[in-house]
Amino acid sequence: MNILILSVGTRNKIVQYFKKSITGKVVVTDMSPIAPAIFEADSYYIVPAITAPNYIDMILDICIKEKINAVMSLIDPELSLLAQNIDRFSGVGVMVIGSSYELCEMSLDKMKMFAFCRQNGFNCAESYESIAQFESALRQDRISFPVFVKPIRGSASINISKIDNMELLNVVFKQSDQLMIQQYLRGQEIGADVYIDMVSGEIVSIFTKKKILMRAGETDKAVSFKEDRLFEYIERFVKVAGFRGQIDIDLFDIDGEYYISEVNPRFGGGYPHAYECGCDHMKLIENNVNGIANTRQIGNYQSGIYMMKYNEIKICQDIRS
């Protein structure tokens, strides 16, 4: 299998794991000629922004030139773009590893995700699109300060503010558009790395970790654990939604009740924890691309294994554009 990974940025570990686990080439792209992860691949291409009018044409050309069998992205906005063009990729023999356009958009839009969870009986943070809605809930004691204010569409914890009073809330809403107000959840934050088979549509791998420390929206320190009730909750959520491929789910455990926080239909920043504990989702992807349905291996890892991120550097002499 030859795989093309788009927008790799600083996700060196993901590229390294693919090179270690699959039998074919690992080709990557990024906008920057000094994105460190590009130097881990067998070959790389510098491409324009995903908003460029000929962007997909360029990616398809790379697929044809490199004899690519599967393509995936590591950034949220590009997931929808790939899903929109799945037929064009299929036309050149390339499998898009990911979920449908509708699910990618729902995952990116926090109000859509809130509505989905509410409609299907999954616990989630109370969320409001306007100050008027929030004030009404406040008067009815359905929510209280502090709250989070965040963009309705966004990722990586960009432009998120913790707000403690109405005066500051009004100021923040006047400064920006397309914001939402979300309940501040107090509890144990959990991350789940999940793989849903692209052939069978069945959930075949779940890895869960308790988050100890977060940094810039990603898990910095965590410890693995297993809980059958949590696995069952995740399975029910994923089956109702209909996700495919690799997804990353953020949850909270609040007094024994699980709450869905966010879903990223891609490899999350904390996935290396899962891989190092034996959950090799790269191999699962290769099997699917080869037409092989994977067997169920949920919880096949050891509890009590800690992950601690630290900084590394990449040194290169020749930077090619």
* 308/311 Cα distance (integer angstroms): 10
* 18/25 Cα distance (integer angstroms): 9
Residue 54 backbone phi and psi in degrees, to 5 = -105, 20
What pLDDT, on a 0 to 100 scale, did the predictor assign at position 227? 98
Q: How confident is the model at residue 195 (pLDDT cuts 50, 70, 90)?
A: very high
Task: Please state the domain extents for the chain.
Answer: 3-96, 126-183, 186-308
- Range scoring the smallest mean pLDDT among 1-15, 97-111, 174-188, 272-286: 174-188
Q: How confident is the model at residue 261 (pLDDT cuts 50, 70, 90)?
A: very high
**Res. 164: pLDDT tops 70:** yes
250-255: long-range pairs with CB below 8 Å, 24+: 250/189, 250/190, 250/191, 250/192, 251/189, 251/190, 251/191, 251/192, 252/185, 252/187, 252/188, 252/189, 252/190, 253/187, 253/188, 253/190, 254/185, 254/186, 254/187, 254/188, 255/187
Please tell me whether residue 194 adopts helix, strand or coil conformation: strand
**Res. 318: pLDDT tops 80:** no
Q: How confident is the model at residue 317 (pLDDT cuts 50, 70, 90)?
A: confident
Q: Do 126-183 and 186-308 show the same overall fold? A: no
* 265/107 Cα distance (integer angstroms): 7
* 206/209 Cα distance (integer angstroms): 10
Instruction: Identify which has the larger pLDDT, 246 or 214.
Output: 246
Q: How confident is the model at residue 159 (pLDDT cuts 50, 70, 90)?
A: low
Fold classification of 186-308 (topology level): D-amino Acid Aminotransferase; Chain A, domain 1 (3.30.470)
Extract the tokens encoding 121: 């009986």
- Calculate the average pLDDT of the chain: 95
% of the chain with per-residue pLDDT over 70: 97
The CATH number of 126-183, from 3.40.50.720, 3.40.50.2300, 3.30.1490.20, 3.40.30.10, is 3.30.1490.20
Fold classification of 3-96 (topology level): Rossmann fold (3.40.50)
pLDDT digits (tens, 9 = 90+) for 128-158: 999 999 999 999 999 999 999 999 987 655 5
Mean pLDDT within 188-212: 98
What pLDDT, on a 0 to 100 scale, did the predictor assign at position 316? 85
* 12/316 Cα distance (integer angstroms): 14
**Res. 230: pLDDT tops 80:** yes
Does an H or E element contain 197, and which? none
